[in-house]
Amino acid sequence: MDDAAREAHISEIRSAVKALCARYGEEYWLELDGVRGYPTEFVRELTQAGFLTALIPEAYGGAGLGVLEAAAIMEEISRSGAHAGACHAQMYVMGSILRHGSEEQKRAYLPKIASGELRLQSFGVTEPTTGTDTTNLKTTATRVGDHYLINGQKVWISRVEHSDLMLVLARTTPRDKVARKTEGLSAFIVDLREAVGHGLDVRPIGAMINHHSCELFFTDLAVPAANLLGAEGRGFKVILDGMNAERILIASECVGDGRYFIDKAVAYANERIVFGRPIGQNQGVQFPIARCHTEIEAAALMVDKAARMFDAGRDCGAEANMAKMLASEASWRAGDVAMQTHGGFAFAREYHIERKFRETRLYQIAPISTNLILSFVGEHVLGMPRSF
Ligand SMILES: Cc1cc2nc3c(=O)[nH]c(=O)nc-3n(C[C@H](O)[C@H](O)[C@H](O)COP(=O)(O)OP(=O)(O)OC[C@H]3O[C@@H](n4cnc5c(N)ncnc54)[C@H](O)[C@@H]3O)c2cc1C
């Protein structure tokens, strides 16, 4: 497909996603937010329409599109006022199976994920005692016959209650027995339908946003050895390889959030009359919105660059990280300006601004915090000394 045809296709995708989202509307998300509800119907429809399976190759039943198209999908979902965090993981967690799975695993999982029969929405890495220091994680997986027994604890693992499969990272060789700290970790596909209540205890966390995050407790959870993803001891690479796509897609959600806030702020600034004129006529109200628009457009360019590099098979670690940082900070500032523009009404739940404001704040912390991105750029892009 040449560039013009690709742009036209992306434009069609954007319109279709927008139309699908419009059928749900912001009240749907407001209601779910109030009761920790999950958008089951929305996710199902998005999957069946082929949007959530955009990155699965056609040979495995997916749409076989690129990250550029996937980013446009996530952006439109966020821009509509929806909380894309409810569904985004399926897009990039699947990539670990695609890149590191055996042919048997790919055939077993990918077509079912593409059809919606299996949901792969969960990704278990973070632990309470080690946080960002991933290679120091304490959860272990010990080979016993044709199974591994997993023991340990995870925290903030999202959508476990609404997924059939979860990718889990655990240590198979103690850290003091490997040459490098990134070795000795392994990735597993856990079938949640069998695991929950049989070695896996799931406890929801009360949180600031409706992200369906949970604490997980593993007690001798038996996982078939056939569910090891990639080689034993090489799981860190399995996880790492999925991160560029994850960063780009999260960044595109932030661009969507930012555009949402700007749409809302502009509309309100034009219609709200105080002192006999629209508040947007005051440059003190107008300029912050214009500045945020400028920042979001700049971040969108970096997202676009990173996505095109990813699709061309080029190393895009720096661009993916920078896109995520720029977009998450720009969307947060746009949220803050939308709050300020709406005055007291920003606090009214029915205006939706406060919900989106809470939601977009996450992306400066998860899936990776801004400091860790700056550390990556400082060390790997600019060649300054390693700090940890
Ligand atoms: C709503 C939500 C959903 C999540 N979903 C998932 C999920 O589905 N799966 C999953 O595995 N995880 C998930 N997470 C976890 C998320 O990835 C982590 O919270 C995040 O990576 C940060 O880890 P931490 O909270 O342990 O912070 P910590 O590692 O304790 O860090 C705390 C702060 O210190 C800073 N910091 C730490 N070390 C350094 C350093 N060396 N230099 C400079 N600054 C440093 C960090 O940048 C951060 O700001 C989720 C988190 C949230 C809040």
The distance between the two most distant Cα atoms of the chain, rounded to a whole number of Å, is 78
d(CA 235, CA 143): 15
Amino acid in the structure at residue 263: D
Ligand 1 within 6 A of CB of 10: no
Ligand 1 within 6 A of CB of 207: yes
Radius of gyration of the chain (CA): 21
CA of 370 to the centre of ligand 1 (A): 10
Nearest of 15, 113, 108, 17 to residue 56 by alpha carbon? 113
Amino acid in the structure at residue 249: L
Q: What is the pLDDT of residues 281-321, one digit of tens each?
A: 999 999 999 999 999 999 999 999 999 999 999 999 999 99
Ligand 1 within 6 A of CB of 365: yes
Nearest of 186, 331, 157, 348 to residue 259 by alpha carbon? 331
pLDDT at 139: 98
pLDDT at 336: 98
CA of 20 to the centre of ligand 1 (A): 33
Nearest of 293, 317, 331 to residue 373 by alpha carbon? 317
> Residues 330, 332, 336, CA angle at the centre, nearest 5°?
115
Q: Computed from CA positions of residues 78, 83, 84, 85, in that sequence, does the dihedral angle turn out positive or negative?
A: positive
pLDDT at 90: 86
CA of 135 to the centre of ligand 1 (A): 14
CA of 132 to the centre of ligand 1 (A): 5
pLDDT at 328: 98
Ligand 1 within 6 A of CB of 373: no
pLDDT at 329: 98
- Residues (pLDDT < 70) of the chain are none
> Residues 137, 236, 210, CA angle at the centre, nearest 5°?
65
pLDDT at 124: 97
Residue 60 host element (H or E): none
pLDDT at 112: 97
Q: What is the pLDDT of residues 235-249, one digit of tens each?
A: 999 999 899 999 999
Ligand 1 within 6 A of CB of 47: no
Strand-pair category, 140-144 with 213-224: unpaired
pLDDT at 1: 83
pLDDT at 305: 98
3-class secondary structure, 218: strand
